[in-house]
A and B are shown apart, each in its own frame.
Chain A
Amino acid sequence: MTLVLRMIAQRLALGLLTLFVVSLLIFGATELLPGDFAEAVLGQAATPETVAAIRRELGLDQPLVLRYVDWLWGAVQFDFGSSLAQRNRAVSDLIATRLGNTLFLALYAAAMAVPLALTLGILAALWRNSLFDRVANSSALSAISFPEFFVAYILIYILAQGGWFPSMARLPAGADLGEKLYRAFLPALTLTLVVTAHMMRMTRAAIINLLASPYIEMARLKGMRPSRVIVHHALPNAIAPIVNVIAINLAYLITGVVVVEVVFVYPGLGQLMVDSVSRRDIPVVQAVALIFAAAYVLLNLTADVISTLSNPRLMHRK
């Protein structure tokens, strides 16, 4: 067990380093974009004097390094500053509700997608090359092959215009869980359709791979039912690759759903990130990017811990 704890501590330290590098990259990248906040906010109406005045007021005329150190000093004390566009609002305040919405949608979609993908994958492995396997494979692959917005529009056309679910997933303040689940159903379903194929195919492949192992053959020779062979003997050994794919897909559900957010008018982090980049609102971009990076770091860490725990060879290394 100490092994796992040490691994977690090591990985978290490395994760912090990753976040630092990410913040450097993001800061540098936004600097490379043409124009800054002053020009972006004034747009067509920009005159040299007003641009200069805004830069002076927000300290954008300071050298790059100084601005970065300033930001970093605040960030290590968990003060991410205030948004350039809304000077009286702290970045953390701006992000809080949206982060909640994003996590809600991600968990909602994951709660549908992960069991569905695992079940389909196991069944497809069990009845491989059967009609079921083919249908499940081809429908999951076609769902992933369409662009997300197309899947979204099809669902809106069938389910929203048919009057079953709202086309806008806006969550009214103070809505109860049932209402929230109802309103966010279509975006969650869209995401489910988009991520299921990957996880299902990996489950199927990992299990089929193991089915050729001698110990499975042994189990079969003992006269065990195929379903029991797969669930009790093959699956535990297939956990590592499956968990890794699930982690990647969960991270995607948190960080990559801006298109779905736009189509369903869902106020999540993706839209905030896109708006802030186009406005060059660096404090917000930085904070959101760090959240995204942290999501990847933590989910990958979780996946690694689970695969280590599931593998005795790693747990009891000599």
Chain B
Amino acid sequence: MNKQLLDAGISRRSLIKGATALGAAGLILPAGYRKAAAQPRKGGTMRIAMGHGNTSDNLDPATWDNAYVQVMASTIHNYLTEIGTDGTLQPEIAESWDASSDAATWTFRIREGVTFHSGKDVTPEDVVASINYHRGEDSTSAAKPIVDPIRDIRVDGQNVVFELEDGNADFPFIMSDYHLPIMPSSDGRIDPSSADGCGGYVMQNFEPGVEARMTRNPDYWKSGRAHVDEVIMLPIIDAAARQNALITGEVDVIDRVNLNTVHLLERSGSIRIISVPGTQHYTFVMDSRVDPFTDNNIRLALKYGVNRQQLVDTVLSGYGVVGNDHPIGRSNRFFADELEQRELDPDRARHYLREAGMDSLQVDLSASDAAFGGAVDAAVLFAESAAEAGININVVREPSDGYWSNVWMVKLFTAVYWGGRPTEDWMFSTAYAAGAAWNDAFWEHERFNQLLSEARSELDETRRREMYVEMQRIVKDEGSTIIPMFANYVMAVSEAIATPEDIGANWTMDGFRAPERWWMA
């Protein structure tokens, strides 16, 4: 007995410890999750069906715009940095990094001994070329706005030095963006149509809109990652077809599970639902430049008129968490859990209406299922709960086609979907900073904007946390956006799939890394 254990590389002590932990886990966790604690197993074929992907997809990082190519990219490529399952930044091709005291100059040390699938070494020159591809006058990249603040990139021995226009303490986070893989270069340019990368899998066949087949990279530098031999990714846009493919065993993993039918999947014993509370959130945004929304009392009255739990239970079938009127999710580093959760409170809503000098309020709310699945239902539920406070919301059902160009940021009170961003600064700068292109509430707050630019170049984590908490408080209490719910990323897997206990929440599919992090049970 003893010998066998030793052979397996487990001491008696660790076995006992493991057994206790497993027993305890068995008590707390639902049955489906126990498998997650098992040791990763090598081998097998993982077949993934995604709710995105079409015939126009391609290998050019400048064009990646849907979850199918994003997962595919993260499977064949590596990035300078990686966002871990706990939301912290992990080194990848960059071994380590340092900032100047003003956070405007960043030095990344490039890992040595990493090779591309073609056998070429990954060099600092490749890193420079990979990022430069998205910069410059002629850039056609969707990532151009996020690399625009880079003034200069240069190679310094094994380091790559980035000079930024202004300090940005989150710059290493930006380098984890899915548009910015490290690709092989020659003469300072990458070949954007090449599938060569330094990730855990090698592309064997990519037929856009049909399938991508990748096999394990035998020389992958990471240990404890990329467990399966082969990954097959299929785009199956139709939600019912995707679900059927999983039920009939044609695939092992699906994403974007239809929340209306998720209970049917739950009932079938052999399928496990993976639901991760991430950063994607649904909002009702008010144009703060136009009456009555100029008055913060009116905005507060509306915020107190939402029955958040009811929205999560019905619109999201329970697969989400209530929002607190700021866009920072629980998986974010500086999420302010000390802020009091706002609840439906008709008395307070009435109080704020009186403060604004009104007895009742009449507003139109524009919604369409283009904003998010169930947006019209959510708006109707909102109208019902707000009616208790004397607020009369007239729900206007807008056409889905052209919603983003004709309704969003045009009508005064609209339903909106946000995918969320991995850092607080990224989220706030995108949609809440004064003058930002997608500041859909046209909201300006002096103290908020001042904090935003100060926090960006602040390197002291405690100080940053204080600032971001204050900004979340400001958006919650004075912002012009109602954020009633955060929608989970909901995926389903067959019994053949095992996952680590922690699953990344920064994007769907374990932060796009499921093929690298999951394995066949």
Binding site for B on A (CB under 8 A): 34, 38, 41-47, 49-50, 53-54, 56-57, 83, 85-88, 94, 97, 153, 156, 160-161, 163, 166-168, 170, 173, 262-265, 267, 271-272, 275-276, 278-279, 281, 284
Contact = CB atoms under 8 A, between A and B. Distances in A.
A86 B238 CA distance: 24
Dominant secondary structure of chain B at its interface with chain A: loop
19 contacts: A42-B65, A43-B65, A45-B143, A46-B142, A49-B137, A50-B139, A53-B140, A57-B138, A167-B241, A167-B247, A167-B250, A168-B236, A168-B248, A170-B210, A170-B234, A262-B241, A267-B209, A279-B56, A281-B56
Interface string B51-95: 000111110000101000000000000000000000000000000
B139 A53 contact: yes
Given A42-B142, A45-B142, A53-B140, A166 B63 contact: no
Contacts of A49: 137, 139, 144
Contacts of B251: 168
Contacts of B143: 45
A166 B65 contact: no
Nearest to A284: B55
B318 interface: no
B30 interface: no
B45 interface: no
B66 to A, nearest CB: 9
Given A53-B139, A54-B140, A262-B237, A275 B250 contact: no
A163 B248 contact: yes
B248 A267 contact: no
Given A45-B65, A271-B209, A87 B193 contact: yes
Most buried by A among B56, B142, B250: B56
B211 interface: yes
Chain B contact patch, size range: 35 or more
B145 A47 contact: yes
Contacts of B380: none
B210 A267 contact: yes
A266 to B, nearest CB: 10
Interface string B215-251: 0000000000000000000101110110011011011
B208 interface: yes
Contact of B248 (A57, A161, A276, A281): A161
Given A41-B65, A86-B58, A275-B54, A50 B144 contact: yes
Contact of B244 (A97, A167, A281): A167
Given A272-B209, A275-B209, 4 more contacts: A85-B63, A86-B56, A97-B207, A167-B247
B54 to A, nearest CB: 4
Chain A to chain B: the 5 pairs with minimum beta-carbon distance, closest first: A85-B56, A45-B142, A275-B55, A275-B54, A279-B56
Contacts of B449: none
B271 to A, nearest CB: 13
Contacts of A271: 54-55, 209
A276 B56 CA distance: 7
Given A272-B55, A272-B209, A168 B245 contact: yes
B507 to A, nearest CB: 16
B241 A41 contact: no
Interface centre among B140, B145, B248, B405 (most CB of A within 10 A): B140
B137 A262 contact: no
A265 B236 contact: yes
Nearest to B57: A85
A173 B144 CA distance: 38
Nearest to A264: B241
Given A50-B142, A54-B140, A160-B248, A41 B193 contact: no
B275 interface: no
Contact of B245 (A46, A83, A167, A173): A167
Contacts of B237: 262
B317 interface: no
Interface in B125-142: 137-142
Contacts of A170: 210-211, 234
Most buried by B among A45, A56, A57, A153: A45
B182 to A, nearest CB: 21
A281 B142 CA distance: 18
Contacts of A168: 234, 236, 241, 244-245, 248, 250-251
Contact of A53 (B54, B58, B137, B145): B137
A153 B244 CA distance: 9
A62 B205 CA distance: 35
B138 A265 contact: no
B103 to A, nearest CB: 25
A161 B210 contact: no
A54 B207 CA distance: 23
Contacts of B245: 167-168, 265
B145 A276 contact: no
Contacts of B238: 262-263, 265
A156 B244 contact: yes
